[in-house]
Amino acid sequence: MRRHDLQVFLSPTSFLSISVAAAEVYPRETVGILIGLQGKDKIWVEYAVPVQSADRDKDSVSWKSSVDYRIKEFMTGSTGLEVVGGFHSHPWPERKFLFKGMNRLSPEDISTWNPREIEIVSGLVKNGGKNEKGKKLNWVHVRGGTLQGAIGNYAMKVTAWFSVDSVRKDPQIAFIRCPFATGMER
């Protein structure tokens, strides 16, 4: 699979769950599990389930593997869907605007990432939902498929990372499709 060949489709529910989870614990990180269906070059994310009992910090988040297992078992068993990845946030409370690099996977992120799954990073800044020029952000695609926009007081970037061969930890950006987000002009 070449760069940008993978498309990640976010349901309205999964998009809002990722966004709310990130805003709820801001300025700390959030983490969660993505449930959906995985095809050859497309992934449908139906649910994004936050890990409520995670230990959160502004630069990291951790949780027990037993909690991870319970969530995955419950969600796959009750929906008939599969685990397609995880998500976490990168809050930037010390920044006024969105900056390049806020959605990159850190060395710690890469060390815990399962390259058979996608990892969605939601970078956010509580800045009134404005861009670098002080204008309200509408949801658009930037940089190869990353979504950027605002909900309420939060400016956000949402990036989906994947491995080309599902083995190497060489993250590439997938194209996110979320008509719910890109159709919002609030």
Which residues, in sequence order, are CB contacts of 148 under 8 Å at separation 6+?
Answer: 98, 137, 139, 140, 141, 142, 155, 156, 157, 158
Structural domain boundaries of the chain?
7-182
Q: Which residues pair with 105 in a beta bridge?
A: none
| pLDDT at position 161 | 96
**170: Cα separation from own chain's centroid:** 17
Average pLDDT over residues 154-161: 94
Q: Is the pLDDT of residue 154 over 70?
A: yes
pTM for the predicted model, two decimal places: 0.90
C-alpha–C-alpha distance, residues 28 and 34, integer Å: 20
Angle at 57 between CA 51 and CA 63, to 5 degrees: 35
Mean local confidence (pLDDT), 43-47 = 98
More confident residue, 99 or 151: 151
Q: What is the mean pLDDT of residues 163-168?
A: 89
Greater confidence (51 vs 62) lies with 51
Say which residue the tokens 């979320």 belong to: 178
pLDDT digits (tens, 9 = 90+) for 52-103: 766 656 666 666 677 778 888 988 999 999 999 999 999 987 776 666 778 8
**pLDDT tops 50 at residue 138:** yes
Give pLDDT, residue 119. 96
- Sequence-ordered alpha helix ranges (H) in 26-143: 65-79, 107-112
Cβ atoms of residues 131 and 137 within 8 Å: yes
Residues 6+ apart with CB under 8 A from 134: none
pLDDT computed for residue 1 by the predictor = 43
E strand residue ranges, 39-180: 42-50, 55-56, 61-62, 82-91, 118-126, 140-142, 146-151, 154-163, 171-177
Of 45-49, 65-69, 106-110, 136-140, the least confident:
65-69
**111-115, 141-145, 182-186: lowest mean pLDDT where?**
182-186
pLDDT of residue 132: 81
CATH 3.40.630.30 fits 7-182, yes or no: no
Residue 130 has a pLDDT of 87
Which segments of 113-184 does DSSP mark as H helices, in order?
179-182
- Of 113, 146, 131, 183, the closest CA to residue 4 belongs to 146
